[in-house]
Chain A
Amino acid sequence: MILWDTLDLNELSILIILFVGFTIVGLLPKRLPRSITILSLLWGSAGAMFFDFTIGGGLIDFYTVNDSPRYELFDLFYYILFAPFGYLFVYYYDKFNIKKIKFVWYVIAWSLAGLAVNWLFTLLGIIHFKNGYILPYSFPVFLVIQTITGLYYELIKSKNLFK
């Protein structure tokens, strides 16, 4: 494990996006219960990590995060970067009272936003596609993970856990 390979644009970008992301989370009016806030942040990070370490490393190696295939401290920061996205997805899902047909549009909109962020990450040198992987392949990944996120949040709401 190394801290970083070379400290340049990608590392700096990760730090800036992390700062902006968590600042937005902190500044938004409190809406979600504390447990859902923690869960959505963890969901974002763990989801990204699950996909990255399944299709982005090991035997199925479709992309490299940051400057080298070695595990860098900034790889970990990169996964934490997805925490605010998880939170914002659930936050606006709740705020806009997403239901039925709106669900489909909401997931598609977030998947397109995910694709744009993915593209930005390639420009900034945060991720590097390889072995035939191209940007559009990320779209089905976002569709699947965000549909699961929305459905799972509906399941949690259906349990009436919160007073």
Chain B
Amino acid sequence: MGFAFFFFLSYLIVSMFIVMRKKLNIVENTFVFLLILFVNINVSWIIFEELDLLTVTEDAMKYVGFLLNRSMILPMIIVVYLNLVNRSLKMFKKVLITIISISTVIIFSGISILFDLITYVNWNFIYDAIYFGALHLLAFYAQKLFRKFTFHEVNYS
């Protein structure tokens, strides 16, 4: 069930990204995806395997569900988030989108626990919120920096 659910979520988030009106170009979207993939894989490995703050399932199919969440769903949610938040919206709406995005990722963590994909040992939802919030911040500023650094060579029209 866990595998099927997270496969469906992967399908859903990728489909949503494909059909949405994008504010970032393909290079920026790829940059953000790879950066978050790079950071999240490392941090996940350290908190799961090195610090034993969480444990991951040993069931093969559930483990694939965990991998989908770690390497596909979370980076894609942040890419979708950046495309939404980069629209010319009022600050209130930007904050609201940020809260919704972080909450979505936390809910997916909850579902991972529900389906026995992961187990919290010395971890809780507050730590999740701090970590996912930091990832959102990192992606937001990294994308701004990337655009600033490469602005003159890219045609945004």
Contacts and interface: CB of A to CB of B under 8 A. Distances in A.
Provide the main secondary structure of the chain B interface. helix
B38 A45 contact: yes
A43 B149 CA distance: 18
B86 interface: no
A151 interface: no
Interface in A121-163: 152, 155-156, 159-163
A128 to B, nearest CB: 17
A33 interface: yes
B26 A159 contact: yes
A72 B6 CA distance: 30
Contacts, number: 82
A156 to B, nearest CB: 6
Contacts of A35: 27-28, 31, 146, 149-150, 153-154
A23 B63 CA distance: 40
Nearest to B48: A58
A160 B155 contact: yes
A34 B26 contact: no
A49 B41 contact: yes
A39 interface: yes
B48 to A, nearest CB: 8
Contacts of B154: 33, 35, 161-163
23 contacts: A33-B154, A34-B149, A34-B153, A35-B149, A35-B150, A39-B30, A43-B30, A45-B38, A46-B38, A53-B45, A54-B67, A58-B63, A59-B56, A59-B60, A71-B45, A152-B30, A155-B26, A156-B26, A156-B27, A161-B27, A162-B153, A163-B154, A163-B155
Interface of A: 1, 33-36, 38-39, 42-43, 45-46, 49-50, 53-54, 57-60, 70-71, 76, 152, 155-156, 159-163
Given A60-B63, A163-B153, 12 more contacts: A1-B46, A35-B28, A35-B150, A36-B27, A38-B31, A39-B34, A43-B30, A50-B37, A50-B71, A53-B45, A54-B67, A58-B49
Interface of B: 25-28, 30-31, 34-35, 37-38, 41-42, 45-46, 49-50, 56, 58, 60, 63, 67, 71, 146, 149-150, 153-155
* 5 tightest A-B CB contacts, nearest first: A35-B150, A46-B34, A59-B63, A46-B38, A33-B153
